[in-house]
Structure 1
Amino acid sequence: MARILVAGFSHSQGIGKTGKPYDMANLHHLAPIRGWDNERGKGVGVGYESGDRERLPLKKTPELVEKLAAIEYPALLEIITEPHPDDPLRNIVADIKLIRSLAMTENK
């Protein structure tokens, strides 16, 4: 189990351009922006980013999709992973536990 800062959740399903159905879901987690330094220059990274590298595939179940859709993001989550069925060198998120929402909205 690992704790990660999650910016959001996406779920898409439909029929692709080739006629093949698709159904995919991802967590979009926040990772520190990396600085860099080499002989040609230097870059400073401050804060967090969410890009293609920060997408985590989900073992999509109706229960997990429902759990994730109900969370106000950003949020701190504990994730439970298992080997990805198509690539055992990667992990897939099998379940989550909400530690706390970090959303700055007022509940009315």
Structure 2
Amino acid sequence: MTAYPNPFTLAMRPQCGTPKASEEIMRLRFLVVDPNTQGDDCPAMQVNEETGDLAFVGETITDPDALTQLSASSGIKESETAILIPARMRKLILEALRELEDDPTIP
């Protein structure tokens, strides 16, 4: 697993429209990246250090049939994006989640 101890700050803005007056600032800790990464564009998982929420980076799912199936089971709001995480990352993600459970600094 590739872990990065130094968190970085990411300003969260609305997906469209004007930024809200009270923008939320997330402190994200980079947890794991796809080991087969060949550059900057790579599936990854991060955690919000203040809330414990997870953030994923992956390929956007654009297939209309797949999006219809996803919408039927859980719905997809306009502000949400369905992404694909490679199967080879399952074990890495589970390992990172187990480590988070033991981290007293993450809620």
Higher relative contact order (CA 8 A, sep 6+): 1
State the TM-score, normalized to the length of structure 2: 0.30
State the TM-score, normalized to the length of structure 1: 0.30
Larger radius of gyration: 1
